[in-house]
């Protein structure tokens, strides 16, 4: 693994040298002296980059030129587009992981810092809420987990999921679709799920050690990429827009939004997030069926309380507080 990590750094360095020279050629000699590598080693790295989809022209006596950058989610593609202080400044990029949440959780236990992000091109065991799986085919979508060390008491950590939902819905709106939040933290376009959030926590009674905010966004999946049973309920940004989505640009926009909302939340508290969440919600005002681990509940989704729990008014007139569950909207808002 250490050799791989090292190789990745060399490849990233080669790419940044090549991007710095714009469309001009960089000689093999210049690259090998900058990197302290032999010309053969530079060539091998260039070949490895080509295998990953970078188009690098090589002309004898002139050197190398970067012609095309693939749609990938390494720091090299996302970094220049980012407008954040911490979030995504360190990206741990993987071709394939069972789950970015699991990886980020272990890294946080080992001391990874606030704002570090784990990204995978593919997940083989992507985790959804309530024990479900998150379908994560390679190279199409965005699957990441952000490591946050927010200095909050553990009981306030669930609010971070709503912070992320607001950022997610806003960045999808920035991309040109009418995204809405379905309680607790699904993001929908025209009633079809486009993104989900899985927040996991490590804490002691008084103090959060870290929070992992895991987000999956269907960016370029087409109908055939969804399993049969999801086709009627899932969508992607690309399906909604009718055109391919530049994943690195979307990731940079989302992380920028996420850090803005996180800063506001940590500075001023939950009120502004709650107000924005309510404005973006497709659940409030709806007749709903809520399924929790213990019960099924029907009523009108009236509000979310200061901690993000759903308040449901039943036919009998009582107001029930639901902390976790799934919501089925029984008829569209009038
Ligand atoms: C849900 O709506 O059920 C939540 C889905 C969360 C999926 C993301 S993909 C990146 C991160 N890693 C995981 O294993 N899960 C989250």
Burial of residue 66 (number of CB atoms within 10 Å: 0-12, 13-18, 19+): buried
User: Would the CB of 74 count as within 6 Å of ligand 1?
Assistant: no
Radius of gyration of the chain (CA): 22
CB 144 within 8 Å of CB 251: yes
Tens digit of pLDDT for each residue in 121-179?
999 999 999 899 999 999 999 999 999 999 999 999 989 999 999 999 999 999 999 99
Using DSSP's 3-state secondary structure scheme, residue 310 falls into: strand
CB atoms within 10 A of CB 32: 16
Query: What does the pLDDT read at residue 10?
Result: 85
Ligand-binding site membership of 193 (annotated): yes
Q: What is the pLDDT of residue 6?
A: 47
**Which amino acid residue places its CA nearest to atom 3 of ligand 1?**
128
Q: Which among 64, 73, 82 is positioned nearest to 17, based on CA atoms?
A: 64
Calpha distance 306→300 (Å, rounded): 18
- Helix, coil or strand: residue 193: strand
In angstroms, the Cα distances linking 30 to 47, 63, 223 are 17, 9, 47
Given the CA of residue 195, which atom of ligand 1 is nearest to it?
A: 2
If phi > 0 it is left, if psi is from -120 to 50 it is alpha, else beta; for residue 63 that is left
Containing 155, the helix (H) or strand (E) segment is none
pLDDT for 11 equals 85
Specify the pLDDT at position 184: 86
206 vs 12 pLDDT, higher one: 206
The number of CA neighbours under 13 Å toward the Cβ of 15 is 23
Top mutation candidate among 147, 161, 183, 198 for ligand 1, by most atoms within 8 Å of CB: 198
Q: Are 173 and 112 in contact (CB under 8 A)?
A: no
132 touches ligand 1 (CB under 6 Å): yes
Is the preceding peptide bond at 184 cis, omega within 30 degrees of 0? Answer: yes
pLDDT at site 245: 96
pLDDT at 38: 96
Mean pLDDT of 110-117: 98
Atom of ligand 1 nearest to the CA of 132: 3
* Separation between Cα atoms, residue 147 and residue 110, nearest integer Å: 12
| Residue 5 confidence (pLDDT) above 50 | no
pLDDT of residue 254: 98
Q: Kindly report the number of other CB atoms within 10 A of residue 77's CB atom.
A: 21
User: What is d(CA 221, CA 219) in angstroms, rounded to the nearest whole number?
Assistant: 6
Task: Express each pLDDT in 266-285 by its tens digit.
Answer: 999 999 999 999 999 999 99
Q: What's the rounded Cα separation, in Å, for the pair 282 and 158?
A: 20
pTM: 0.86
> What DSSP element (H or E) covers 289?
strand 287-291
* Token duo for residue 155: 């009981």
Positions of E strands within 55-170? 55-59, 63-68, 91-97, 117-123, 142-148
Instruction: Tell whether 123 is in a known binding site.
Output: yes
């Amino acid at each position: 693994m250490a050799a791989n990590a090292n190789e990745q750094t060399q490849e990233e360095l080669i790419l940044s040298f090549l991007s710095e020279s714009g469309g001009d050629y960089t000689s093999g000699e210049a690259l090998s002296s900058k990197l302290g590598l032999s010309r053969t080693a530079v060539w091998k790295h260039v070949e490895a980059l080509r295998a990953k989809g970078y188009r690098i022209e090589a002309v004898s006596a002139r050197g190398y030129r970067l012609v095309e950058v693939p749609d990938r989610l390494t720091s090299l593609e996302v970094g220049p587009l980012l407008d954040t202080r911490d979030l995504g400044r360190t990206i741990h990029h993987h071709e394939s992981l069972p789950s970015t949440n699991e990886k980020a959780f272990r890294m946080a236990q080992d001391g990874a810092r606030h704002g570090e992000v784990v990204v995978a091109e593919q997940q083989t065991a992507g985790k959804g809420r309530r024990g479900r799986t998150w379908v994560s085919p390679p190279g199409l979508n965005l699957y990441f987990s952000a490591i946050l060390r927010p200095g909050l008491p553990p009981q306030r950590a669930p609010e971070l999921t709503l912070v992320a939902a607001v950022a997610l819905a806003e960045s999808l709106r920035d991309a040109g679709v009418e995204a809405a939040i379905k309680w607790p933290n699904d993001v929908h376009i025209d009633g079809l799920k486009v993104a989900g959030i899985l927040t996991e926590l490590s804490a002691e009674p008084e103090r959060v050690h870290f929070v992992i905010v895991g987000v999956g966004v269907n960016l370029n999946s087409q109908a055939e990429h969804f399993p049969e049973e999801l086709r009627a309920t899932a969508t992607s940004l690309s399906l909604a827009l009718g055109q391919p989505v530049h994943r690195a640009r979307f990731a940079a926009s989302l992380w920028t939004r996420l850090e803005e909302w996180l800063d506001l939340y940590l500075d001023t508290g939950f009120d502004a997030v709650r107000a924005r969440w309510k404005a973006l919600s497709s659940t409030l005002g709806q007749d709903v069926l809520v399924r929790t681990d213990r019960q099924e509940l029907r009523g009108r989704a009236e509000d979310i309380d200061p901690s993000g729990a759903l308040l449901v008014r039943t036919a009998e007139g009582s107001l029930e507080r639901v902390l976790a569950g799934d919501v089925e909207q029984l008829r569209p808002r009038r």
